Amino acid sequence: MRLLEIEGLNSYYGDSHILFDVSMHVEAHEVVALLGRNGAGKTTTLRSLMGVVAPQSGSIRLEGKPIEGLPPFVIARRGMQLVPEERRIFGSLNVEENLELAMITAPDAWPIERIYETFPPLADRRRSRGTDLSGGEQQMLAIARALVRGPKIILLDEPFEGLAPIIVQNLMTVCESLAAQGQTIVIVEQNVVAAMAIARRAYIINNGHIVYDGSVADLRSAHDVLTRYLGV
């Protein structure tokens, strides 16, 4: 079943045309990577899906229902969650308060204990304020805050950015576990190797245009594509 369908998406920042007729789809229970160089349009795509950026044209359907033009809080209630690159956790609240706040309007919220089973370090830090967490712990909390709402699909924007390799490996393990449990994920990530280790399919975006749509297995062997668009 196609959980998410995007057709002919055009998005702008002011007068700057950023996305050009972007079309993608995501099946239920699959992990899809959106790859590309800095400034290619990856984050704008996620923000357009979430309603943070209002697309000028094109359609976005979640479970077959149009969501383009809806405000982010409505899209969130429909089952989509964005974990932004900046994390945006509440630094003055502790871990558990951040999670409880996210649960308030969630129709199918996870029990907090399920979050702690998924992210054991957060259980140890449940009474620590957001500002007292390490970068890796903050990233865990940002993902946990999205998951606690029981999303149908989660959008991860550069989840491994700036983190130590051991933390990246731990988060990759979590993502792989979530995928095995059937969680649908779209991941934007500059760490191409990490993203391709998690995802089954991939899109590459270049200057706002989708230039590759296919399996990760095929992409690994497409050395000219990897070199041209990702510098790998």
How much is the pLDDT for 107? 81
User: With 0-12 CB in 10 A as exposed, 13-18 as middle and 19+ as buried, what is 61?
Assistant: middle
Q: Which residues of the chain have pLDDT under 70?
A: 232
How much is the pLDDT for 86? 86
Domain boundary among 108, 131, 151: 151
In a domain, 168, yes or no: no
How much is the pLDDT for 158? 94
How much is the pLDDT for 232? 59
What CATH number is associated with residue 43?
A: 3.40.50.300
Q: What are the C-alpha distances in Å from 16 to residues 10, 11, 29?
A: 11, 9, 34
Q: Tell whether 70 and 20 lie within a shared domain.
A: yes
Number of domains within the chain: 2
Range of the domain at 56: 1-79+153-161+181-232
In a domain, 174, yes or no: no
Q: Tell whether 157 and 62 lie within a shared domain.
A: yes
Q: Tell whether 47 and 2 lie within a shared domain.
A: yes
How much is the pLDDT for 8? 97
How much is the pLDDT for 113? 94
Strand partners, 2: 27
β pairing state of 209-215 and 2-13: unpaired
In a domain, 206, yes or no: yes
